[in-house]
Amino acid sequence: MSLSDVTRGGGPARVIKVDALARVEGEGALYVRVRNNEIRDLKFRIYEPPRFFEGLLRGRMYSDAPDITARICGICPVAYIMGASHAMEAALGVDVPRDIHEMRRLIYCGEWIQSHVLHAAMLHAPDFLGLQDALQIAAANPDLVKAALRLKKLGNDLMATIGGRAVHPVNTKVGGFYKAPSIEALRVLLPEVEWGLGAAETLLDAFSGFDFPDYDYDYTCVSLGNTTAYPIMEGDIVVSGGEAIPLDGFMDRYEEFQVAHSTSLHARPKDGSGPYLVGPIARYNNNFDRLSTRARDAARRAGLGPIVTNPFKSLLVRMVETIHALEEVRRIIEGYRGLAAPSAPVAVRAGTGCGCTEAPRGICFHRYELGEDGRIAKALIMPPTSQNQPQIERDLRGVVEKNLDMADEDLKWLCEQTIRNYDPCISCSCHFLELTIERE
């Protein structure tokens, strides 16, 4: 970090640069210019080089899409596998049996568990404790960190048992799986699932004692819903207030657009109604009554009502969802009797299909057009972080406006914490944020 006083436009300005931010995936920067105690410019800039996955998919067979899109993220590959698979099945008219759907939900729960716990305990909790990383938490409370690592491992073990490996699973395909998961291999995990439920509640109780920054926003929440189950892989798109949009109507209502300060596309409603929120809080607010009784009770103990408006409490919502996911894991494993067939039959034809699932960070939307030979003619993928970027900038503006009396170092920390609320998946490699604040 460097701090200097410079002259801009005849007046003094304070410039703060943070050259490295850990605990966020990828390369990004935040620029804030304040003049006369008013924000004159604010940009959350992503400068990660684009990877052109949609272009890479063109000309490939429909069956390649799940494996290729899984490489977009090493933390949530199942989200891309399932979104691509659902879209291809819609385009090809594939009817996936219930037992395959349940096994897909099980591997997805494993991804939620490992991703939520990684973010909440390792990447975000240090912000609330004034610490630099989870190693400092481990020095003060090693049992908490050990429990979090063990719980994350349980999520990874579920993904490996069903998918062949925890990162970029190899046992999934359009129509289902290459091989039915073993009943015995899954049931041996049940004692760990029981332990995990208690551990997740303990972590939630610990995190609920954090001092959360005073900031609230009336979010427009967009998630899956309109179904009897808490949404992971099923449902329509629902918006705050209960409006339901079929998947094939999503792009009629929302659009991507490019901004000069980011290599990542943003998303917005076509009616100009402003930014919208996807992710844990959006799912929770739209579907609270579909959480399990145990998860709802845990939420209430943590001080959460059925609607959450403080973005910093997304940490708590993630742990509530972890409890729900663990209960789903137990239910599915206890009822599993093997698959009648590992996959549904697929017949190649021309078609267009949409798929949308709830990645840990929010809805991940896919749309593909196929030719008669089954090759991909056009691909569109809208990941959750792209959809959340305008809302991230709106939250940053609100947080800065509310805390302009803070010292620059404290405000810098709060801005970083605000970004980490979203667990933004900028990339799966480097972890850098450059922050510049100019006060004129």
Which of 126-140, 142-156, 209-223, 270-284 has the weakest average pLDDT?
A: 126-140
CB within 8 Å of 55: residues ≥ 6 apart = none
Q: Does the pLDDT at position 17 exceed 90?
A: no
What's the pLDDT at 359?
96
On whether 364 is known to bind a ligand per the annotation, the reply is no
Is 169 in the same domain as 229? yes
307, amino acid identity: I
| 431 is known to lie in a ligand binding site | yes
* Stronger pLDDT, 108 or 14, i.e. the higher one: 108
User: How far, rounded to the nearest angstrom, does the alpha carbon of residue 56 sit from its chain's CA centroid?
Assistant: 23
Quote the tokens at residue 177. 């799986």
* Residues contacting 220, CB < 8 A, separation 6+: 239, 240, 273, 274, 275, 276, 277
Establish if 396 belongs to a structural domain: no
Question: Given a cut of 70, is residue 16 above it in pLDDT?
Answer: no
- Give, rounded to a whole angstrom, the gap between the first and last alpha carbons of the chain: 20
Classify residue 398: in a domain, yes or no: no
Of all residues in the chain, what percent carry a pLDDT higher than 70?
A: 89
Distances in whole angstroms, Cα of residue 255 to Cα of each of 50, 101, 382: 19, 29, 9
* CATH code where residue 70 lies: 1.10.645.10
Ligand-binding annotation for 111, yes or no, is no
Helices of type H across 267-313: 280-287, 293-301
Q: Is 73 annotated as a binding residue?
A: yes
In this prediction, residues 388-392 reach a mean pLDDT of 92
Q: Is residue 319 part of a domain?
A: yes
Query: Would you state the structure tokens that stand for residue 404, as one six-digit string?
Result: 């302009």
pLDDT interval class at 266 (50, 70, 90): confident
Give Cβ neighbours of residue 161 (< 8 Å, ≥ 6 apart): 181, 182, 185, 186, 189
The SS3 call for residue 238 is strand
Q: Are 367 and 251 in contact (CB under 8 A)?
A: yes
Tell me which amino acid residue 250 is: F
Q: Is residue 395 in a domain?
A: no
Core vs surface per residue 331-369: b (16+ CB within 10 A) or e: ebbeebeebeebbeebeeeebebbbbbbbbbbbbbbbbe
Q: Would you place residue 34 in the very low, low, confident or very high pLDDT band (cuts 50, 70, 90)? A: confident
What is the per-residue pLDDT across 160-175, written as a single tens digit (0 to 9) for each? 999 999 999 999 999 9
What integer pLDDT is reported at residue 258 of this predicted model?
A: 82
φ, ψ for residue 350, nearest 5 deg: -75, 150
**Do both 199 and 234 map to the same domain?**
yes
Q: Residue 277: is its pLDDT beyond 90? A: yes
From the list 350, 353, 386, 356, the residue with the least C-alpha distance to 367 is 353
pLDDT at 160: 97
Residue 241 pLDDT > 90: no
Maximum alpha-carbon separation in the chain: 76
pTM above 0.85, yes or no: yes
Is the pLDDT reported for residue 223 higher than 60? yes
Query: Is 372 assigned to a binding site?
Result: no
What CA–CA distance (Å, rounded) separates 100 from 414?
44
Query: Would 10 be classed as within a structural domain?
Result: yes
Residues 412 and 288 placed together within one structural domain of the fold: no
CB atoms within 10 A of CB 165: 13
- Could you tell me if residue 175 is inside a domain? yes
In a domain, 20, yes or no: yes
pLDDT at 306 over 70: yes
Residue 440 has pLDDT above 90, yes or no: no
Range of the domain at 238: 53-387
Consult the annotation and say whether 401 binds a ligand: no
Residues 187 and 310 in one domain: yes
Do residue 45 and residue 57 come from a single domain?
no
Over residues 231-237, mean pLDDT: 96
Q: Is the pLDDT of residue 417 over 80?
A: yes
Q: Which residues face 436 on adjacent strands?
A: 17, 31
58 with 41, same domain: the answer is: no
Which residue type, as a one-letter code, is found at position 116?
H
Can you read off the two tokens belonging to residue 108? 């997805």
| 133 and 246 inside one domain | yes
Q: Is 273 a domain residue?
A: yes
- Between CA 151 and CA 140, with CA 166 as vertex, the angle to 5 degrees is 30
Read off the pLDDT of residues 44-77 as tens digits, 9 standing for 90 and up. Answer: 777 665 667 888 899 999 999 999 999 888 788 9
Average pLDDT, the chain: 88
Does 162 lie in the same domain as 22? no
Total domains in the chain come to: 2
Of 256-260, 301-305, 331-335, give the lowest mean pLDDT range: 256-260
Closest to 289 measured CA to CA, from 357, 226, 233: 226
**Using one digit for the tens of pLDDT, what is the confidence trace for 119-138?**
999 999 999 998 888 889 99
Residue 266 assigned to a binding site: no
For residues 362 and 425, state if they share a domain: no
> Is residue 10 over pLDDT 50?
no
In this structure, of 82-86, 178-182, 240-244, 427-431, the range with the lowest mean pLDDT score is 427-431
Residues 348 and 432 in one domain: no
Q: Over range 7-31, report the average pLDDT.
A: 46
At 225 the three-state DSSP class reads strand
Q: What pLDDT is stored for residue 49 in this prediction?
A: 59
Nearest of 332, 308, 323, 314 to residue 384 by alpha carbon: 314
**Range name among 17-21, 151-155, 388-392, 412-416 with the lowest pLDDT average:** 17-21
Read off the pLDDT of each residue in 337-348 and give the average, rounded to a whole number.
97
Verify that 134 and 219 share a domain, yes or no.
yes
Q: What is the pLDDT of residue 260?
A: 77
Residue 1: is its pLDDT beyond 60?
no
> Per the structure block, which two tokens stand in for 364?
């991940």
Residues 325 and 413 in one domain: no
